[in-house]
Structure 1
Amino acid sequence: MTRIDPDDLDGSLYRTLAGAVIPRPIAWVSSLSPEGVANLAPYSFFNVVSTAPPVVMFAPTDRSERPEGLSDSARNALDTEEFVVNVVTEPLAEAMNATSATLPPEESEFDHAGLERAASEAVAPPRVAAAEVAFECELYESIDIGSNTMVLGEVVSVYLDEGVTTDGKLDVEKLDAVGRLSGSYYCRTDGRFRMERPE
């Protein structure tokens, strides 16, 4: 078995971490710049961190070529204190990938990918109209961690398409979310299996 000592590594552990911590959920984050430009970008360093209060996080890599050294999504979320996390399902995978293109801050990824916006209720940034699940978030906190900025958002409103619910509740068997692997690889959530948790 190969052992890697991070202190002896010539580069970073990105390839190993991103290739082994899989599958990762994807936060398709929509935000608004202070100038009103709608930004949309996917992040696979994403998860839920609390249910009371309901808090999710995404952690984009800092971008030295961008203003303040932050990704557009992180900068917008910190400046406006609002963002939306849209869940990526298989029909939206190609559009999600298109929004990962590096565009100037004044250009909207919604327009670049030909995506329809939907108005949010509790926050200003729009949702992806075709997203079956979306979480409207208000900034909870941000933490600088090495080369990344972790943005935590308190969920203040949730949108669920009726097609992914049963009796009004989210049904995991109906939500065909896409997961991130590594490099150009993604995965589907159609290989579900059950195990009962022991007491």
Structure 2
Amino acid sequence: MFYRPEDGHGLPHNPFNAIVAPRPIGWIATRGADGQDNLAPYSFFNAVAYVPPQVLFASTSAKPDRDGTKDSVANIRETGVFCVNIVEQAMRDVMNISSGPWEREVDEFAKAEIERAECETIACSRVAGAPASLECKLTQIVQLPGEANFAVFGEVVGVHMREDCIVDGRFDVTTFQPLSRLGYRDYAIVENVFELKRPGE
């Protein structure tokens, strides 16, 4: 099968997300200028540079009360900071609650009963029990082609790692089963980890 996205795929559901999978989930915590906390998962997320460490996530829809975007991007525009929390299998249900189309006044930490902690380097909450959290300062927001498509880039200025996730001096993903997003309503967990050495190493 071949299709041009502009012509449509003819399938009952869009296969694009399922093709580009698995994807890590960035559980993005933000705080608006009014002090209101927000927490929402984004599967268009990844690390993009080592030095300085940088990440990006993309928001691809809008809410009527947020000037063509969603709460996360709107808050970051106001404050210039955000925190990326890593999602584990044990937090899948509360993460899913935080993904709902809640109004801007809703605090997802409270709604999903997620314990929060204050970040160290930025004015923002983080998920207290997350395996890791990355405190970020905004570097740029890029408007992408298409309605409400924004890529948000941030420099990581603070890193939290849960103590039980550090094994023999390494952040060990086998200690907590990272959750990843596939297509449609499908998710997966990381259970089988193996090592490969690059040629020349």
Task: Name the TM tier (shorter chain).
Answer: over 0.9
Asked if residue 197 in structure 1 is aligned to residue 198 in structure 2, the reply is: yes
- Residues 162, 168 of structure 1: 8 Å contact kept: no
Q: What letter matches 1:194 in structure 2?
A: E
CA drift at 1:10: 7.2
Q: Which residue of structure 1 lines up, in the alignment, with residue 165 of structure 2? A: 164
Measure the CA separation in 1 of the matches of 2:9 and 2:123.
43
| Aligned residues of 2:115 and 2:127 also touching (Cα < 8 A) | yes
Query: Residues of 2 paired with 1:98 and 1:6: CA distance?
Result: 31
Please state how far the C-alpha of 1:166 moved relative to its aligned partner: 2.0
Give the aligned residue type for 1:132: P
2:135 counterpart residue number? 136
Partners of 1:196 and 1:168 in 2: how far apart? 19
SS at match of 1:78: helix
Q: Say whether residues 1:15 and 2:44 are aligned partners.
A: no
Unaligned stretches of 5+ residues in structure 1: none
When residues 175 and 4 of structure 1 are mapped into structure 2, their CA distance, relative to the original with a 3 A threshold, is same
Identity of matched residues, %: 37
SS at match of 2:154: strand
Q: Please identify, of 174-183 and 93-102, the stretch whose mean Cα deviation from structure 2 is larger.
A: 174-183
Which stretches in structure 2 are left out of the alignment for 5+ residues? none
**CA distances 1:4-63 after superposition (whole Å, capped 9, x unpaired):** 11232279xx82220111100000000001111110000000001111121100001130
Give the whole-Å Cα distance in 1 for the aligned partners of 2:161 and 2:169.
9
For structure 1, which segment, 114-123 or 159-168, has the greater mean C-alpha deviation from structure 2 after superposition? 159-168
Offset, 1:198 = 2.6
* Counterpart position of 1:179: 180
Is the 2:142–2:150 Cα contact (8 Å) retained in structure 1?
yes
Task: Tell me the C-alpha RMSD between the 2 structures.
Answer: 1.8
2:123 pairs with 1:124? yes
Q: Per-residue displacement from partner, 1:124-153 (whole Å, max 9, x unpaired)? A: 111101111000000011100123100101
Output aligned runs, 1:82-161, within 5 Å.
82-147=81-146, 148-161=149-162
Q: TM-score, normalised by structure 2?
A: 0.92
Q: State the AA in 2 paired with 1:57.
A: L
Q: Cα distance, 1:64 vs. partner?
A: 4.9
- Between stretches 2-11 and 125-134, larger displacement belongs to 2-11
**Is the CA contact 2:15–2:183 (under 8 Å) kept in the aligned structure 1?**
no
Does the Cα contact within 8 Å between 2:83 and 2:135 map onto a contact in 1?
A: yes
Aligned residues: 197
Query: Equivalent residue for 1:24?
Result: 23
TM-score by length of 1: 0.93
